[in-house]
Amino acid sequence: MTFKLGLTGSIGMGKSTTAQMFEDEGCAVWDADAAVHRLYDVGGLAVVPMAKAFPEAVVDGAVSRDVLRSIISDDPTALPKIEAIVHPLVAQDRADFIKSATAEILVFDIPLLFETGGDSAMDATVVVHVDATTQRTRVLDRGTMTQAQFEAILAKQMPSAEKCARADFVITTDTVEHARAQVHSVVQQIKSRF
């Protein structure tokens, strides 16, 4: 039996670090963002269809996320077209992962798990969470986005409290040690169901 665990959390909550902890526990992890990067990279399956729809988005044989962002901000009809290209390819990538994975627990790291209804395909969900002040500090300390960009991303995401209320498990990522202990506990609880 394979158990599908959806992992999500708002920006800056520690989702990637937590995903690695699940991998350290012997789970197989599929990362939605990494799948999109593979699809957009040179030779990726999204490059040719994206070049047909948005030729300017393909730079040096790869889809440029920066160019896509500016296309989306200039043209409100662009995002649904991009999603129509990318979503089926991401779904196929996920299906291929499920087919080839050998671990008992498969973890699906999906930023917009609840927002897209992806939780319905999971056996359980886990949300990573930390207080709003720590979240803001983590994101802004990266130096990769402004306060305004951070606020814009937050506005597109379901509030963390709502995600926590909907989740089967909540992992507080205040410290690495605390998060690791909670991940271990979640894995043990799931294994006890087998």
The pLDDT, as a whole number, for residue 45 is: 96
The pLDDT, as a whole number, for residue 26 is: 96
Using CA atoms, how far apart are residues 52 and 59, in angstroms rounded to an integer?
Answer: 13
The pLDDT, as a whole number, for residue 116 is: 86
Q: Would you say 46 and 65 are in contact if contact means Cβ atoms under 8 Å apart?
A: no
Q: Would you say 177 and 31 are in contact if contact means Cβ atoms under 8 Å apart?
A: no
The count of other CB atoms within 10 Å of the CB of residue 144 is 9
Domains and CATH numbers, the chain: 1-27+111-194 (3.40.50.300), 36-102 (no CATH)
pLDDT tens for the chain, 194 residues long, are 799 999 999 888 999 999 999 999 999 999 999 999 999 999 999 999 999 999 999 999 999 999 998 998 899 899 899 999 999 999 999 999 999 999 999 999 998 899 889 999 999 999 999 998 898 899 888 888 888 888 888 887 888 889 999 999 999 999 999 999 999 999 999 999 87
The pLDDT, as a whole number, for residue 24 is: 97
Full-model pTM: 0.89
Residue 28 CA to its chain's centroid (Å): 15
**Phi, psi (rounded to 5 degrees) for 105:** -115, 125
The pLDDT, as a whole number, for residue 190 is: 95
